[in-house]
Structure 1
Amino acid sequence: MRPAPDAPALNRRTLLRIGGMAALTAGTALAAGTAAPARAGTAGTAARTGPRPADWKALGRGLEGRLIRPGDAAYDTARRLFDPAYDGVRPAGVAYCENPSDVAECVNFARRLDVPLAVRSGGHSYAGWSTRTGLIVDVSPMRAVSHRSGRATVGAGAKLIDVYDRLAAQGVSIPAGSCPTVGVSGLALGGGIGVVARKYGLTCDVMESVQIVTADGRLLACDADHHPDLFWASRGGGGGNLGVAVSFGFRTHPAREVTVFFLQWPWRRAVKAVQAWQAWAPSVPDELWSTLHLSREGGTQVQVAGVYLGGRADCERLLDRLADRIGATSSSSVRRVSYRQAMMIMAGCSNLSVSQCHQGGSLPGRTADGRLPRDRFSAKSHLAYRPIPEAGARTLVAEVDRPGSHSVLLDALGGAVGRVRPDATAFPHRAALYSVQYYAHRTGATAWTRRAHAAMRPHFGDHAYVNYVDPELKGWRSAYYGANAGRLARVKAAYDPGRLFRLPQGV
């Protein structure tokens, strides 16, 4: 096996895009249904349209957290999302909420004074919908992670890298994604496709409870027995639709040693790789999750990477079955590592400490020694309900082969994901074999994602993943939610009849 050069410390998309084998070679709880108390200066004042400067000052005094406004030294950092494309948006205020009462204070302020509201956990919304010109409710300060008796309690602002790190110290984990600075809230509320999903399900599948501040300022503790409709909708219904999640209860699984692998083939094998991988990946034992990556980033590349919840020898036997169908690899690496290290590898942080695997800065969610860059990109998605024919594979490969800086990521589903009924949670795509993400950078990125997505629509259909939200998507209700869209709309009407939480693609 020929090892790849060391990978830089970047996110998972970049890790896979350049060939990530380097790592292998080297808050406050209130009772259900009670109102979260609003503090002095906001709730209870006579209603009017639009806040005055005095209202903003009163909001700031009423928060235990920090309200940052235009003119403040931290404002330019506080207002920015992960994607610099949205740097032109200038919110009137960014509230870093320390607890559910801070969130309720902000919600009551926005409702009473008719201030546009956006909710932010990690700031990774593909469409930039975790910012707007009004008030940003940032839950990053609520990031505590604890574990007891097989259950994790996770603050809505916790970043995935911190969730993995803190739970691994207790010998457990939850199924989640790989991008290290994504907030757990956005991931879980939209479903949560991740690197051990085939064995343990989506993030929303292990969600046992969620605390949400609703549009009327109440903090509701939701589970299968309390506010069950809101609990159902919170498992796949999309972040920012129904309220502000502040805390989650998740069922955990043991975090033992695992096997991580990276295989590469020459580009001439790309069509055969798509055909072979899509037949192999959803059908192998649940313990094996993989992603097929076709990229054109400084050259074309075919790569399969993944995690196997078992030993190296068994993993290699399964990988040999794939290689027999595609042909000889140009490079490959398979190694047994700790669960925590595997998550660092998948995050693109194998050469960094956990603290460095953040964006830099002093605001909540950042670290003083954080090294991760922001990323300007364009993205779209599909979900594949059936294998695409050879013609579809050729079309996909041809689109990746076009000039530019772009990639396609196919993430395996099936296994535990597919054994849940489509209507058991708001996430409907239980029969999908894999997810598809079109991801592009630099000049021509938007044009490429549009073209590639349109070219593959005849083969994949109109299914899409709400966590890869696409503002250009037509028929998005059906694409994201399928037959669950009607029930979601009824839950929305019950808990937010005035539509305080408004998104361009809001249920």
Structure 2
Amino acid sequence: MESAPAGRTLDRRTLLRIGGIAALTAGAGLPARTRAAAETGTAARTGPRPSDWRALERGLDGRLIRPGDAAYDAARRLFNPAHDAVRPAGVAYCANPSDVAECVNFARRMGVPPAVRSGGHSYAGWSTGTGLVIDVSPMNAVSHSSGRATVGAGAKLVDVYDRLAADGVSIPAGSCPTVGISGLALGGGIGVVARKYGLTCDVMESVRIVTADGRVLECDADRNPDLLWASRGGGGGNLGVAVSFRFRTHRAREATVFFLRWPWARAAGAVRAWQAWAPSAPDEMWSTLHLSREGGTDLQLVGVHLGGKAECERLLDRLADRIGPVSSSSVRKTSYLQAMMTMAGCAGLSVSQCHQGGSLPGRTRDGRLPRDRFTAKSHLAYRPVSEAGARALVAEVARPGSHTVLLDALGGAVGRVRPDATAFPHRAALYSVQYYAHRAGAAGWTRNAHAAMRPHFGDHAYVNYIDPELRGWRGAYYGANADRLARIKAARDPGRLFRLPQGI
């Protein structure tokens, strides 16, 4: 075995690799095919031994948590308790890209299926599994310089907003505070200022990815541009493990937030009026229409206007003229960060409190946000829903249960990008539709409501609201971009190490 060059110090990880390889060098004189079988075949057939897991643990700068460890039950859980029955063989909290590469190589060599986790919000629970969970939460640094933000893949949205706000800038992102930036950006990133600044993936200029062969690749317009394209809407967990991103930023000016309610009797008319108003409003205006059944029925408009209160009220008056008098309203100007905190449901909390509680990476000791048991499905509306469709949607929401339909406005900057410029294809969509249900009967309601609205909305869906029951998911998520994504997958992960039930 080669010795280290003079003056070079071997780090702990290199020494461990050498130690692990030493046991294999006895077969160095074997034919390549036989040697490959000695290195990977036996482990892949039998699975890793306890000593293999211990070697992985020693090779990480981060932390490996295994069944029987005190932190295991907390470490294995996702945001949605519906997936609590899943018990991974290990959860690796990766401190740096080298840790991720170590885990990817371990998974490939040992035949252990990897699952990639940033925030743990996968609707289908696919950010966990029975193999090795590669959790990037410790890689959460956020920095800004010269109009660009460098963001670790494990950063939670509330922390991204907070840390960039200190420099007076931000990026377009979502509203759920504990979502990881990686999952959001890789799937596209519909968010509260998308109409003004685009999707999260639209401001992504580069991404670092650990691919299936364990390499850490820089991906931008000049280096590995195929991976950059696929990472801008192709969905997380498909092509490797993202470890960091670079985004263009925008100035974080003051904003106006608003909440309006109407009587439920006006719900069908409100859907029709809102869909004619919201996607064509000035780019500074973003809104979401909520039709809810939580005890009683509720019709509410929520949103952010990136401008003054008077202009916001003028635009809202135009909508109210079409729907009818509001039953309540609140319109107020606030800082950009507070606007994002309000949309996150954290208006009365500190940034630290706007997390899940705990001591593991991504959580805070004073975190107050609970987990949430739910099921969800989605549509993307490419054309206005008819009067009959609006009545059908209202009828579905009015059924007994605990559920909400959320209509999020698109258009604006989102629609000015070509459908093939990024992997996210839904540039012509007017708005997204999410069916979100809690408690007993939730799965039945989402299934029935989605089926009832399919004739009105068609077969388009958002990959970040991933739906394990969705038929024709390739076309629904990716449209005409599906074939290009499949070619990139075949070239970059021919052995399909990263394998999801709805993986490209």
Tell me whether the two structures share a fold, i.e. TM-score over 0.5: yes
Determine helix, strand or coil for the equivalent of 1:282: helix
The corresponding residue for 2:261 is: 264
The corresponding residue for 2:182 is: 185
- Find 2:249's aligned residue among 236, 247, 252: 252
The corresponding residue for 1:40 is: 16
Residues 449-475 of structure 1, C-alpha deviation per residue, up to 9 Å, x if partnerless? Answer: 000000000000000000000000000
Shift of 1:40: 1.4
Residues 100-141 of structure 1, C-alpha deviation per residue, up to 9 Å, x if partnerless? Answer: 000000000000010010000000000000000000000000
Q: Which amino acid aligns with 1:370?
A: G
Q: Does 1:150 align with 2:147?
A: yes
| Counterparts of 1:395 and 1:40, CA distance in 2 | 62
Please list, as runs of the form range in 1=range in 2, the aligned pairs for 1:428-507 lying within 5 A after superposition: 428-507=425-504
The corresponding residue for 1:327 is: 324
| Counterparts of 2:285 and 2:116, CA distance in 1 | 35
- Find 2:138's aligned residue among 138, 141, 146: 141
TM-score normalised by length of structure 1: 0.92
Q: Contact between 1:43 and 1:108, CA under 8 Å: does it hold in 2?
A: no
- Find 1:204's aligned residue among 201, 204, 217: 201
The corresponding residue for 1:375 is: 372
- Find 1:119's aligned residue among 98, 116, 120: 116
Determine helix, strand or coil for the equivalent of 1:40: helix
Q: Which runs of 4+ in 1 moved over 6 A?
A: none
The corresponding residue for 1:413 is: 410
| Counterparts of 2:271 and 2:84, CA distance in 1 | 37
Structure number having the greater helix percentage: 2
Q: Which amino acid aligns with 2:243?
A: V
Shift of 1:240: 0.2
The corresponding residue for 1:288 is: 285
Q: Contact between 1:209 and 1:222, CA under 8 Å: does it hold in 2?
A: yes
Q: Which amino acid aligns with 1:272?
A: G
Q: Contact between 1:38 and 1:101, CA under 8 Å: does it hold in 2?
A: no
- Pick the structure with greater CA Rg: 2
The corresponding residue for 2:53 is: 56
Shift of 1:84: 0.4
Shift of 1:315: 0.4
| Counterparts of 1:432 and 1:225, CA distance in 2 | 30
The corresponding residue for 1:13 is: none
Q: Which amino acid aligns with 1:426?
A: A
| Counterparts of 1:382 and 1:497, CA distance in 2 | 31
| Counterparts of 1:441 and 1:255, CA distance in 2 | 34
| Counterparts of 1:423 and 1:52, CA distance in 2 | 45
The corresponding residue for 1:348 is: 345
Q: Which amino acid aligns with 1:288?
A: M
> Quick one: percent identity of the two aligned structures?
83
Q: CA-atom RMSD, angstroms?
A: 0.9
Q: Which amino acid aligns with 1:256?
A: R
Shift of 1:357: 0.3
Residues 31-59 of structure 1, C-alpha deviation per residue, up to 9 Å, x if partnerless? Answer: xxxxxx86615864522221000000000
| Counterparts of 2:426 and 2:283, CA distance in 1 | 17
Residues 449-504 of structure 1, C-alpha deviation per residue, up to 9 Å, x if partnerless? Answer: 00000000000000000000000000000000000000000000111000000000
Residues 175-230 of structure 1, C-alpha deviation per residue, up to 9 Å, x if partnerless? Answer: 00000000000000000000000000000000000000000000000011110111
Please list, as runs of the form range in 1=range in 2, the aligned pairs for 1:84-103 lying within 5 A after superposition: 84-103=81-100
| Counterparts of 2:129 and 2:16, CA distance in 1 | 26
| Counterparts of 1:38 and 1:246, CA distance in 2 | 21
The corresponding residue for 2:106 is: 109
Name whichever of 43-52 and 426-435 sits farther off. 43-52
| Counterparts of 1:345 and 1:40, CA distance in 2 | 48
| Counterparts of 2:342 and 2:355, CA distance in 1 | 14
| Counterparts of 1:291 and 1:385, CA distance in 2 | 16
TM-score normalised by length of structure 2: 0.93
Residues 315-356 of structure 1, C-alpha deviation per residue, up to 9 Å, x if partnerless? Answer: 000000000000000000100000000000000001110000
Unaligned runs of 5+ residues in structure 2 are 1-12, 25-38
| Counterparts of 2:191 and 2:443, CA distance in 1 | 25
Shift of 1:298: 1.6
The corresponding residue for 1:5 is: none
| Counterparts of 2:399 and 2:54, CA distance in 1 | 53
| Counterparts of 1:450 and 1:391, CA distance in 2 | 20
Q: Which amino acid aligns with 2:417?
A: V
Q: Which amino acid aligns with 2:488?
A: V
| Counterparts of 2:304 and 2:404, CA distance in 1 | 21
Aligned length in residues: 471
Determine helix, strand or coil for the equivalent of 2:403: strand
The corresponding residue for 1:164 is: 161
Relative CO higher for 1 or 2, CA cutoff 8 Å, sep ≥ 6? 1
| Counterparts of 1:130 and 1:364, CA distance in 2 | 16
Residues 343-401 of structure 1, C-alpha deviation per residue, up to 9 Å, x if partnerless? Answer: 00000001110000000000000000000000000100000000000000000000000
The corresponding residue for 1:300 is: 297
- Find 1:318's aligned residue among 304, 311, 315: 315
Determine helix, strand or coil for the equivalent of 2:16: coil
| Counterparts of 1:230 and 1:384, CA distance in 2 | 28
Q: Does 1:70 align with 2:46?
A: no
Q: 1:39 to 1:453 in 2, by over 3 A?
A: farther
Q: 1:211 to 1:38 in 2, by over 3 A?
A: farther
| Counterparts of 2:326 and 2:293, CA distance in 1 | 18
Unaligned runs of 5+ residues in structure 1 are 1-36
Q: Which amino acid aligns with 1:106?
A: C
| Counterparts of 2:281 and 2:231, CA distance in 1 | 30
| Counterparts of 1:444 and 1:38, CA distance in 2 | 53
| Counterparts of 1:209 and 1:452, CA distance in 2 | 39
| Counterparts of 2:302 and 2:175, CA distance in 1 | 13
Q: 1:39 to 1:233 in 2, by over 3 A?
A: farther
